[in-house]
A and B are shown apart, each in its own frame.
Chain A
Amino acid sequence: MHSPGLWQALRAPRYLRGPWPWRSAAYLLSGVCVGLATLVSLLLLAVVGGALAVVVVGIPLLLMSALAGIPLAAMERRRLRLVDPVVLPDPHREPDGTGLAAWVRVRLKEPNTWRELGYALLCAFVLWPLEALALGTVLGLCGGLLSTPVVMATVGGGEEVRVMKIWLADSYPQAFAAALAGALLLPVLAYPLGVVAAGRAALARQLLSSRDATVDSRIQELGRSRMRLVDAFEAERRRIERDLHDGAQQRLVALSMTLGLARLENSGEPLGGLLAKAHDEASTALVEIRELIRGIHPQVLTDRGLKDAVEDVADRSTVPVDVRFELPGRLPEAVETAVYFAVCEALANVAKHSGAGRAEVCGRIAGGELVVEVRDDGAGGADFSGGSGLQGVADRISVLDGHLAVASPVGGPTEFRVRIPCPPARAATDTAAAPGTTTAPASRTATRTRI
């Protein structure tokens, strides 16, 4: 399962004129450097770690050597771009919490980590010598032939030179003939060099990608259908909100108004007392329906976007909340909605369980991702394993290829972090987006970058 790029280029007649021979050479040369560096680091880690294991300090070093495949694999995935235009996705899972310990725990459990360690050992002990051999042969052969006249003029004193230490050339015409042969050989050898590089890249791709392409495509399809479900759910939510708003709420207002007028006309007992009671009940129903509608889908989120909607939630929180958002404008609707409900859940948890005196919500775009953090100064130690609300939030976010991490050490603070890939925001002038324009297609495709 190799991707086009170098393989196609090798078959094309323009191969030699294009960048591919150079890319192949660069790929192999950098491979030698990386392989050597890996060998040295692995040996150093093993030796130093082994020696220090007696005094315990070495054990983390040995652990590090078990994880040594991860940075190498990351670099190899980048280096692969030299000869292979198809991006190789990172097969690792996101850790469930923040901090180094959570990361190490997840990594040690993943088969990919161990496969990458195997790859590192292969690089360090087998691959780089082979790459060096291939490069060395081509460069040595062509370089040796090409330099014959120079060597003859300098070392040979203009008399004689041994070409490739095999034939003896004793005249300049012979020496130049050897150089010419070298010049002709170089393009010829560029092909095997390309093949070696392509083979090496295919091996790297095979070893470093996740296992099964059919499984991958099924996962993709599942992801898409999950996205459709969430969209449908969201559309339904809006419909309910609208029906309540335009129907029941308006009628209740009208009813309350009529009752209010009736009270003016009949202030005397006994009807007046009954009317007053009915009026109060209508008012209570109105307050309840207002809160219900807001919980289903807040209008301010559609009208003004995430920042205003989060400020609104913060205003209602019993714990004082500082909101700091640095957003370039409106974000895709699906992202705004998911993050809004995530923040609501986080702030509800802060209010209910943390005992915090203050909380903070920060949001910003960093590296193509929307990062939103909710922190509090409470006692921490929250157990989120049984919380269905939080699980729902995590599911919603993962549909958008995002990630939710919660850290709540005993003694606090509790930190809640959402990261969602976020395509460039729509223009700020677009803030008056009409409701009913459910998830824009752009947000659907653009957020599906990782599988």
Chain B
Amino acid sequence: MTVQQISFYQTGTFTVGNRLLDEAQRTVQATVARANSLTSGHRACQGCGEALGARYAMDAAMHATQRQMVVVNATGCLEVFSTPYPETSWQVPWIHSLFGNAPAVATGVAAALRVKGRQDVRVVAQGGDGGTTDIGFGCLSGMFERNDDVLYICYDNEAYMNTGVQRSSATPPAARTATTPAMGDAPGNQFGQGKFLPEIAMAHRIPYVATASVADLRDLEAKVEEAIHLRGARYIHVMVPCPLGWGAASHDTIRLARLASECGLFPIFEARNGEVADVRKIRHRVPVEDFLKPQKRFAHLFDPEPDTRRIALIQAHADRNIQRYALLP
């Protein structure tokens, strides 16, 4: 499909007017064929980035597969808020087994499909950053290494939200969580390079790795569509702010997701077979303070005095990403 060149007419939010696009390029949410993979009435908090990201990702996958797909879910907010028995919000065949085994369950589903000769049905697994980067990491790496035919989507809200906002290995430096309190000499999460799973996924040389964000849902949809048509292990890591865990206003979810990328902390790119293939350039570069300040989890960096040393360290992280991925236009 050739990409239609259009000019942005809204500068406030960068939202691209759907009406200016070819029908084929419009978001699935804009059509009557909208899949509604995750129906309304689930128990997510207001402004939940994960609910939004999952809905768009799964709708795009349903659209791309013409509903011939199976979803495997790790334990976490997404699972808990969507299936309080006897209700379920899922319009797709969906299985939840455990916190740490979604990739392996998906491997089993894919094997069963292969043995039954069902080439048409695709497998998508999903989980939070905890289920993906921590407890499920071994299973995920195994799934990557075997190049199992599964698309795995991680919704990164940067902590264990379902159990009450504890630190995960995707929690950024200095962030306050229930297990990294804002106290002592080094308040909040420890400083370190963290565990950035997309790069670890790339090290497995799997066919497709991408990052995406709820700040650009059309990009997320396009990446899901791209990934779903490939074979083998594929991984998409989506930035999904959590108003509750981050201590931010419900209406700030999209804005914070955008700021995470615009300051350089969350690079948006695609990689094929282990090599970066495409990056999304930063349009309006902002200092990391703009991203940190609206969130209570970073309040100790500004109150009573701005902690310039730590803010500078975070800025250095962002700058390194900007360099490494060549994020500036």
A, B co-complexed: no
Residues of B within 8 A of A (CB): none
Residues of A within 8 A of B (CB): none
